[in-house]
Amino acid sequence: MAEVVLLRHGETEWSVQRRHTGRTDIPLTPEGEEQARQASRLVGGHPFSLILSSPLRRAQHTAELAGLAPIVTDDLLVEWDYGAYEGRTTAEIRETEGAAWSIWTAHVSPGITPGEQLADVAARADEVLVRIRAALATGDVAVVAHAHLLRVLTSRWLGMPPADGALLMLGAGSVSVLGEEHGAPAISRWNLDPTVTERLT
């Protein structure tokens, strides 16, 4: 079966600081650009039937530096809209929301602009998966996007609740592969560091 290759965009200043980076369109750091170039050793030149990217520049720039072309942008692949939590770290948010707060289980407090709920992100991921599955009939598919979005998408690929994306750590610039085993959706490879991984095959 054809496979789905996931590429998380490279490092940004906010990802280094562990800030929730949703719709804020910030660029890659020099290290993030190098991560994307290293990813080209894994994915560059591969004959994908479809290459999808978030429209945000950190994702598109990663795709370009990784040698992926032609790129088709899809607005459904933008990162989670964190609302008033945008730009804040989990530690900062927990100072007001409590020590157990997590974006995966958050209930919006009074006075907080909610942004998207997990169910909203999952609905977008499900729409993207319909497009991906159609393209898999003619070959592998690449998806360049964001950590939380890709973790939700992977959960939905596996038929799991979207909140199970909390179990899937995904580093900046990492490459992962989704496929099937005995006809069931599976993770083939996960969170590969392109600076130390030679090739996917």
C-alpha span between 153 and 155 (Å, rounded): 5
The residue from 11, 79, 86, 116 that is catalytic is 79
* Tokens (6 digits) for 153: 């998408």
Query: Is position 95 annotated as part of the catalytic site?
Result: no
The residue from 3, 9, 11, 148 that is catalytic is 9
C-alpha span between 60 and 173 (Å, rounded): 12
Please, which residues have CB within 8 angstroms of residue 40's CB and are 6 or more apart in sequence? 65, 66, 67
Query: Is position 9 annotated as part of the catalytic site?
Result: yes
Q: Are 170 and 78 in contact (CB under 8 A)?
A: no
- The conformation of residue 29, written as its DSSP 8-state character, comes to P
* Tokens (6 digits) for 10: 């490279």
The pairing of beta strand 141-145 with beta strand 175-181: unpaired
User: What are the residue numbers of the active site?
Assistant: 9, 79
